[in-house]
Amino acid sequence: MLIERKAYLERLSAAANRSPVIALLGPRQSGKTTLARQFALGQSAVFFDLESVADQRRLENPDFALRDLTGLVVLDEIQRMPELFQLLRVLVDRPENRARFLILGSASPEIIKKSSETLAGRIEFIEMVGFDMTETGADVWKNLWERGGFPRSYIAETVEDSVVWREGFVRTFVERDIAQLGINLPAVTMRRFWNMLAHYHGQTWNASEISRSIGVSDKSVRFYLDILTGSFMVRQLQPWFENTGKRQVKAPKIYFRDSGLLHTILDIRDFHALLGHIKVGASWEGFVLEQLMRIFHKAQPYYWGTYNKAELDVLFSWNGKTYGFEIKFNEAPKLTSSMRVALDTLGLEHLWVIYPGVHSYRLHERITAWPVGELASLPLT
């Protein structure tokens, strides 16, 4: 099954016209290399895979290897040779430079830090994760929710094949990749940390509770969380503050960004088991959140909550207006007092209730129930 990623190709094309260096960052196995090869079709391109011993040798003298190249130059897994960032700045600043550099990296805070310092004003970042409904088709959202968006998990021939792939991904990430991201913890401890995060999915972060459970300091677990956030495994949804006179929740909410990985860690092996699991509502909430943010990727999402239990799952500004979203795993969501409070307190332009149905209908003059399959056509003006 070939799923074209047209939106990413369009963003790469636009970035290449603006910036001499493009950074395509995302977790391993999200399709970055495949996308780079598709982008290179029809143009002069040179590829370097920095996990390849042969390509590492080609770059033993990187200035000599790169300085005379023209067209597109792709450097895959660039975190393996962070010293290249300084050289790229020198190369792209030369008046005679005729190359565009596309750097790929399994997301790492080190990549972002080094490239931002040395390539400021010369680099454009594109975040790439797994498939979304605009790529797979909205009619198969159940498969996407169950398996997640990693290409090899989603297109696996059977459910069991998908489960096995995800189990291998988690094991490799915990046992190998995590050490490269700056966390020096035994794999057993890190797996326990992941398990706790999975149970916090959709809830506010409590560093003290988790630190006590795995026997490290609050500062350490915050560091681990930030690393997993920087590696696109976890999203920290920050709270929105409004001067309302109400005591507002100030801790972030935690979500696994890929629903398939969340289900693997929770040992949810098929759609039937998912529907009967205690975390089904939280899983649905995280899945819809990620779909929203893929469609409105330029928006900065927040949640809002008070200690009086008034809350809103997601809100963000779009074209100068603030929109709210409630995410309900319910066949026929109804108007609630919490929705009314959020609508009035936050001055929302409109509040959308996203649910797994097929019809949209009004709950209030400014509140609409909206089917998940129609997310891409949300009428945000």
pLDDT at 341: 92
Cα–Cα dist 105/92, whole Å: 19
Average pLDDT over residues 3-21: 93
Tokens of 381: 């003006």
**CB 104 within 8 Å of CB 32:** yes
Domains in the chain, CATH or no CATH each: 6-127 (3.40.50.300), 133-377 (no CATH)
pLDDT at 182: 64
Look at 3-17, 78-92, 101-115, 346-360 and tell me which has the smallest mean pLDDT.
101-115
Half-sphere exposure of 143 (CA within 13 A, CB side): 18
Q: Per residue in 298-342, pLDDT tens?
A: 899 999 988 677 799 999 999 999 999 999 999 999 999 999 999
**CB 233 within 8 Å of CB 194:** no
pLDDT at 187: 80
DSSP secondary structure, 24-57, as one string: EEE-TTSSHHHHHHHHHTTS-EEEEETTSHHHHH
Quote the mean pLDDT of the chain: 91
pLDDT at 16: 93
Helix (H) or strand (E) holding 9: helix 6-18
Q: What's this model's pTM, rounded to 2 decimal places?
A: 0.92
Average pLDDT over residues 362-366: 95
Half-sphere exposure of 50 (CA within 13 A, CB side): 19
pLDDT band at residue 92, thresholds of 50, 70 and 90?
very high
DSSP secondary structure, 207-219, as one string: HHHHHHHHTS-HH
Average pLDDT over residues 2-27: 92
Q: Per residue in 250-300, pLDDT tens?
A: 789 999 999 999 999 999 999 999 999 999 999 999 999 999 999 998 899
pLDDT at 245: 55
List, in sequence order, the alpha helices (H) in 182-279: 187-200, 207-214, 218-230, 259-265, 271-275
Tokens of 121: 């004003």
pLDDT at 130: 93
Residue 107 pLDDT greater than 70, yes or no: no
| Phi, psi of 354, rounded to the nearest 5 degrees | -90, 125
pLDDT at 309: 73
| Phi, psi of 302, rounded to the nearest 5 degrees | -140, 170
| Residue 349 DSSP class | S
Cα–Cα dist 31/169, whole Å: 14
DSSP secondary structure, 54-120, as one string: HHHHHTSSHHHHHTT--EEEEEETGGG-TTHHHHHHHHHHSTT--EEEEEEEE--HHHHHHHHHHST
Among residues 30, 32, 258, the alpha carbon closest in space to that of 129 is found at 30
pLDDT at 109: 63
Cα–Cα dist 180/296, whole Å: 31
Q: Per residue in 24-70, pLDDT tens?
A: 999 889 999 999 999 999 899 999 999 899 999 999 999 999 999 99
How far is CA 141 from each of CA 18, 274, 284, rounded to the nearest angstrom?
A: 35, 14, 11
